[in-house]
Amino acid sequence: MPASAALRRELARLGAPRREVDLESLQPMLAETAAEPFAAPGWLFELKHDGFRLLAARNGSTVRLKYRSGASATHAFPEVERAVRALPKGDFVLDGEVVVFGPDGRPSFQALQKRFQLRRPADVASAARRLPATLCVFDLPALAGHDLRALPLVQRKDVLRAFLGEDAPVRYTDHVREDGLAFYAEVRRRGLEGMVAKRAESPYVPGRSPHWLKLRVDRTVELAVVGFTLPRDTRQGFGALHLASWENGGFVYAGRVGSGFDDAELALLRRTLDAARVPRPLCGGRVPAGRDHAWVRPALVCEVRYKERTEEGLLRQPVFLRFRGDRRPDDCGFTETLPAPPAAPLPVAARLTNPDKVFWPAEGYTKGELVAYYRAVAPWLLPYLRDRPLVLTRYPDGIEGKSFFQKDAPVYVPDWVRTQVIHARDADRDIRYFVIDDEDMLRYVANMGTIPLHVWNARVASLDRPDWMVLDLDPKEAPFAHVVQVARALKKILDDLELPSVPKTSGATGLHILLPMGQRYTHEEVRTFARLLATMVVETLPEISTIVRAIRGRGGKVYVDFGQNGHGNTIVAPYSVRPLPGAPASCPLRWDEVNARLDPARFTIRTIPERFEEMEDPLRAVLGEGIDMGEAIAAIERRIAGD
């Protein structure tokens, strides 16, 4: 039976003020990172779940679920919505983590990602039955018209436990007191995600706080070295090591590791690897193919740290730790089981058609290779496509055939492919855009002969508030060396203003410089600020840059284009292929790569997948917290006044 009367008396005794807490304006409390586990009086230690942060609220008959980003999760997890609705009567706000547990009782992040990517109601309902999610609740910011955020954590958790009871359809996250060392050791022993340390007396405050500390437990494994990838750019020795585990009397491919090495190890190890080379891989499993892979006799054993394994048995986010000269290659491997696959397959794309049709005649690259490229880069590309209107340019007969521009999705598109109707202000008509949320949808549009992908800088749920600003450095008749000069000058201006920025190649002849906006400003505000920055860089380098749009008026200078920041304007997506000889693609860069040696033509469908197997995506920062435009403008005004 509902415990609201007793709980109301308890809340009054604790002194919780009567005040509504609005879910939309509530900012979750976040943890900082701790260097190592500890034990201390006055601290609670909870299990760190491998899931998505989720706030859940009930107000009258309305239940809402919200991700930490602010996006709605209500329709993504209908079973969680029903569980929250079934709780005792009264209004409340819960804070927790949504998790999909595997058959072994441990959270499966890969299964959760599959749930997150679904959009069609029928697919969501089916997955809710096959891959049910659980809300693991660890805090209670509000209950029964009372604001609990100022109460100590230990009191909030006492109220939460009493409110949920023993048989709640959502799960209470318990804790241990003081002995974080023993708790951490047990978390590690069981191969779980990690733990969170929290001060027992901490109030619930927005943003990161030193009163909450997270400690991730990365798994380690010893694996045999069975090959390596050839180095690229300025890297010495090799790109990454191919690894394999010993299973049932043979080696099975387990993925590659490219981070964690120093330059001395790269060069020294390459000589050892060359001496052990063999013509083909001596392992089974999902072994990569291509000229950039070399194979060796399994003689070396290395220890790597990793987050988890995929359903295919490959390492996720591995980092090299050390070589183990005390271990034999046939005496190393995994002690954990693979995550179980879903009970039934999730929706898949239609059969690939005409995979052998040549799309790049000079290189012989086929449509099948184009689709394979987009599948390979999907983990890095999809964050820039999800929830955004997409414009296609289709080349059904390859880059030398006829092409056409497509905004409207055709009527024959399968119902599992997401589309979004948006009213076009200039044309005064509705347009049914593609919205690509997962790998199957991406494969579908690539199979249509789509080569470049152009995306909006805003999401469907917030079309008037962009995620990023772009300054497009377009050379036309100017030398690319001038593009680099202008980019470096712009970087200096942005650094002086303490504004973060990330460059990427356009995939053609120019560079894009992106700044995070975080949906804080309108398109017109962003465009106005972009014009100000463009004007500043042109004033710095007037001899080689311009903001004149007409080509005949540029005088052979680099055009600093700020105009692509309006409502409905698009840019070529990161990792998007271009219909040009060599099959180049738009590639995110580190700023130290923007120098005299930079050659955009080197980033192609052949080179980009391996580049990002061995480095983090530097562009991901533009999807994060936006800049403070008002503070930047004030800094510019101070700079002008100082001059």
CA-only gyration radius of the chain, Å: 27
Residue type, 457: N
Pairing relationship of beta strands 468-474 and 558-561 according to DSSP bridges: antiparallel
Output phi, psi for 321, to 5 deg: -110, -55
Residue 226 CA to residue 244 CA, distance in Å, equals 6
Token pair of 59, please?
């107000």
H or E element at residue 432: strand 429-434
Closest CA to 612 of 226, 239, 97, 282: 239
List, edge to edge, every strand of the sheet that includes 29-33.
Answer: 29-33, 207-216, 194-199, 43-48, 175-177
Catalytic residue among 48, 66, 407, 504: 48
Output phi, psi for 270, to 5 deg: -60, -40
Token pair of 462, please?
């917030």
H or E element at residue 12: helix 4-14
Q: Are 395 and 449 in contact (CB under 8 A)?
A: yes
Specify whether 48 is catalytic: yes
Long-range contacts of 404-408, Cβ-Cβ distance < 8 Å, separation of 24 or more: 407/431, 407/433, 408/432, 408/433
Residue 64 CA to residue 24 CA, distance in Å, equals 10
CA–CA distances in Å: residue 640 to residues 292, 536, 633, 636, 637: 52, 11, 11, 6, 5
Pairing relationship of beta strands 558-561 and 545-546 according to DSSP bridges: parallel
Residue 128 CA to residue 106 CA, distance in Å, equals 17
DSSP letter at 231 equals P
Residue 376 CA to residue 607 CA, distance in Å, equals 11
Residue 592 CA to residue 640 CA, distance in Å, equals 29
Token pair of 572, please?
């070529």
Q: What is the chain's percent helix, strand, coil content, to nearest 5?
A: 30, 30, 45
DSSP string, 327-344: S-GGG----SPPPPPPSS
Residue 340 CA to residue 50 CA, distance in Å, equals 16
Chain center to CA of 41: 37
DSSP letter at 178 equals S
Residue type, 487: A
Residue type, 382: L
C-alpha angle 439/443/447, rounded to 5°? 175
Residue 165 CA to residue 362 CA, distance in Å, equals 69
Name residues whose C-beta falls within 8 Å of residue 345's C-beta, 6 or more positions apart in sequence: none
The full length of the chain comes to 643
The sign of the CA dihedral 289, 295, 297, 302 is negative
Residues annotated as catalytic are 48
